[in-house]
Amino acid sequence: ETGVTQSPTHLIKTRGQQVTLRCSSQSGHNTVSWYQQALGQGPQFIFQYYREEENGRGNFPPRFSGLQFPNYSSELNVNALELDDSALYLCASNKGQKNYNEQFFGPGTRLTVL
Amino acid sequence: AQSVTQLGSHVSVSEGALVLLRCNYSSSVPPYLFWYVQYPNQGLQLLLKYTTGATLVKGINGFEAEFKKSETSFHLTKPSAHMSDAAEYFCAVSDSDNNDMRFGAGTRLTVKP
């Protein structure tokens, strides 16, 4: 059983640029959630996708957007990057629509914005 | 909206000693509560969760937590610490109304030989 994978592992961008992060969910999982984890803090919920539809969103601006594909993999897009967007971005997948089902996390993508 | 407070950003124990990591939550509806562990350069791994039923929840690696509604707490314990328990621990709360899982700021556990 393949776990949650994320790419790339690390990424360096400059302010104002756009970035796309990718996540492959665990086999059999149809829900993907994205989190931002700033240094020294807990993860913050960005949004969740269930069967290709957004199924909940945290307190993040519209320049954070996402997609889920028919194979349940997902992308996180961030436009107009700001310095404060530097963080570890975590993807998690689970079965079903609710996140009280166990979420399995990927290792994350570390984004640095200069 | 629900929230979580973890008391103590750093906890240090000796190997073999009791581990106690504190978590208090706020939620207007019955909560779902979770403890996750994060090792360096890795994602989060679920230790245990409380949804309904028995208030004492047993998890992996010998950890357990007790849901106390009257105290709005969900503290994590382990009777005897191992060196391999050194990691960052996160308490999280969610509810049935939405999928916005809220994490605490984390507690870094150090285990001394």
Residue in A41, A56, A103 nearest the CB of B100:
A56
pLDDT mean over B89-109: 87
Q: Residues for chain A: how many in total?
A: 114
Mean pLDDT on A61-78: 96
- Count the neighbouring beta carbons within 10 Å of the beta carbon of residue A112: 13
Report the amino acid identity of residue B91: C
Ramachandran category for residue A75: left, alpha or beta (phi over 0 → left; psi -120 to 50 → alpha): beta
Q: Which of B44, B74, B88, B98 is the best residue to mutate to test the A interface, defined by the most A CB atoms within 10 Å of its own CB?
A: B44
Residue B24: which residues within 8 A CB-CB, separation 6 or more? B4, B5, B7, B71, B72, B73, B74
Confidence (pLDDT) at B100 = 77
Token pair recorded at residue B31: 């909560």
Q: What is the spatial distance between Cα A15 and Cα B10, in angstroms, rounded to a whole number?
A: 33
Q: Do A41 and B46 touch (CB under 8 A)?
A: no
pLDDT at residue A1 is higher than 90: no
Determine contact, residues A68/A47, Cβ cutoff 8 Å. no
Range in A59-73, B7-21, B71-85, B96-110 the model is least confident about = B96-110
